[in-house]
Amino acid sequence: MEKIALIDLGSNTARLVIYDVLNGGYFIVSEERREPVRLGETEPDGSLKQTRIMQAIATLKSFKEMCAIKHVDRILAVATAAVRRASNQKTFLSDVYNATGIRITVVSPDEEANYVYQGVVNSMDIPRGLILEIGGGSTKFVYYNRRTILHTHIMPFGAVTLTNMFVSPDKTPEQCTDDMVAYVREQLEQVEWFKEIDPDTQLIGVGGSCRNLARIIRKVKKYPLDMVHNFNMDVEDFDYVFNMVRTLDLDKKRRIKGLSSARADVFPSALAVIKAFVDYMGFTKIVASGSGLREGVMFNYVVPQTLEKPISDTLGYSLQTFARHMGVNVSHAEQTFNLCVQLFKQLRVLHKFPRAYVKVLRVCAMLHDIGKSFKFYNHAKHTSYMILNSNLYGISHKDIVFAAMVTDVYNKEEVNYTEWAKYNTILSSEDVEAVKKLAVMLKLAIALDFGMRNAVTEVTCDVLGDSVIMKTELNGDANLELNAANNLALDFKKVFKKNLEIL
């Protein structure tokens, strides 16, 4: 296993993320550190301030020390808008290397936009999207369809630079924010391709300010799932936060739950960009992405084929990553899913579920054993918790909760409705009622590969009166598997109201 450290030196924040690179082209975060360096606060001549340079070098030294402690094999370091535009860029890069031994690559605007796109498109199942990434020193727009970039545009201002341009002690917070909104609106009107955006395009928010916005809205709405990636925000909820924040002084902004205190002074500027854009374009929802530039860099490094073509199956890739990280028997997990799909199709006349439920079964099947990595006893409960906190890519929050509930139920006789009541705003009543039937299908699939040897290769089911006759095709001796499946006949009858006979 390789350990890779990625340093992202932005206009507002310096961030260190250490990744474990797993065999087969997968990676997972193992450590993270961040420090506000504010390189975007420059001198009048466009050079980086000496105080900010010293702060950045001190931060990078501490990052280098962390890399040594964690036995990192390689450090990748990138810098974006602030360093890219600095008139003393070469001197800064030289000073950093002499002090830390770290070579920083300054990415171009187009490279930065492409990395952001790669981070999003390889982690979200959104066919047509418009990415809005608000950095400290620039704002990027990437419009794509069917995993192909159609248009990009980079504006030379971000949360830090807008703050420096418009925040003044002789103006109220509201005046400062309104001036920023008006300015951004003027810039937006100059981008011709914004008028070509298809109405079904989803707006995807990327960057620290968007993540903070999602956390605030989650707390305001008492959202039960602790997950930012793929969180859907209504523009009405955004407007509530925007109108609240624009009236507050800095001290009060720092006390907002969900907002990083280090970002409090520039947060209104980021909100001003979003406000100007959603009003100008007429968007009604914003989807938060937890993946951006750093993930794009790592996808390109670990999965080089993404340089040519994005990952087509984002959920499958994410499940493989999580399964391998947790030491799952991947062959058994895949066979369990294969049997789940067969059972889903064969029993459709009984359950009448939509095809979308197969995605839920896929998560359950691939990860049903992960709880055992913590403790065998009550492992379904541990599995459920891990899925709820998995931050899987390419799947909705609803389906993550749905899958967690199925895995929790599959070793119980009944659903604990009280325990799961807090997710009523995410799951529909139809989903909750479907849990027991999906759990029985999952149980049967696990039983039919009980020996983890692919002994049962295919199943067909005939519904005859009050019975279901399940015929199996075998690959060698399957007594262990058939006995395990027959032991579930009572569970099957309770939920499907049919007797189960396995041949």
Is residue 197 a contact partner of residue 144, using CB atoms and an 8 Å limit? no
Handedness of CA 156, 157, 160, 162 (dihedral sign): positive
Summarised one tens digit per residue, pLDDT across range 388-408 is 999 999 999 999 999 999 999
pLDDT value at position 433?
84
Q: What is the pLDDT of residue 240?
A: 95
Q: Is the pLDDT of residue 486 over 80?
A: yes
Distances 391 to 6, 149, 230 between C-alpha atoms, Å: 20, 25, 9
Helix (H) / strand (E) element for 473: namely strand 467-474
Structure tokens at 225: 């799932």
Residue with tokens 């474990």: 20
pLDDT value at 500 more than 90: yes
pLDDT at 449 over 90: yes
pLDDT value, residue 59: 97
Q: For residue 263, what pLDDT is reported? A: 85
Which secondary-structure segment (H or E) carries 163? helix 159-166
Helix (H, G, I), strand (E, B) or coil at 1: coil
For every residue of 286-336, DSSP letters joined together read EEE-S--HHHHHHHHHHSGGGGTS--S-HHHHHHHHHHHHTT--HHHHHHH
Average pLDDT over residues 181-192: 96
280 and 196 Cβ atoms separated by less than 8 Å: no
Report CA-CA distances (Å) from 192 to 21, 111, 196, 197, 405.
41, 22, 8, 10, 47
* Average pLDDT of every residue of the chain: 94
| Residue 211 confidence (pLDDT) above 70 | yes
Q: Which residues contact 359 (CB under 8 A, 6 or more apart)?
A: 315, 395, 399
- Provide mean pLDDT across the span 460-481: 94
What pTM was estimated for this model as a whole? 0.94
- Identify residue 498 by its one-letter amino acid code: K
The stretch 52-70 carries a mean pLDDT of 96
**C-alpha angle 134-135-136 in degrees, rounded to nearest 5:** 130
Using alpha carbons only, give the angle 22, 447, 445 rounded to the nearest 5 degrees: 70
The string of pLDDT tens digits covering residues 140-164 is 999 999 999 999 999 999 998 999 9
Say how far apart CA 7 and CA 39 lie, in whole Å: 15
Predicted confidence band of residue 264 (pLDDT cuts 50, 70, 90): confident
Q: Which two tokens stand for residue 125?
A: 């199942």
**pLDDT of 413 above 70:** no
* Span 217-254, pLDDT tens digits: 999 999 999 999 999 999 999 999 999 999 988 888 88
Q: Tokens for 178? A: 């309104």
pLDDT band, residue 417 (cuts 50/70/90): confident
Give the pLDDT band of residue 365 (cuts 50, 70, 90): very high
Residue 357: pLDDT band (50, 70, 90) is very high
Asked whether the beta carbons of 503 and 486 are under 8 A apart, the reply is no
Sorted by sequence, the CB contacts under 8 Å of residue 302 that are 6+ apart come out as 4, 19, 21, 25, 26, 27
Please answer whether residues 444 and 456 qualify as being in contact, where contact means their C-beta atoms are separated by less than 8 angstroms.
Answer: no
Residue 171, pLDDT score: 92
Residue 130 or 413, more confident: 130
- CA distances to 124, 127, 233, 431, 461 from 356, in Å: 16, 16, 22, 11, 21
Measured between its terminal Cα atoms, the distance across the chain in Å is: 45
DSSP assignment string, 86-145: -TTHHHHHHHHHHHH-PPPEE--HHHHHHHHHHHHHTT---SEEEEEEE-SS-EEEEEEE
Q: What is the CA radius of gyration of the chain?
A: 26
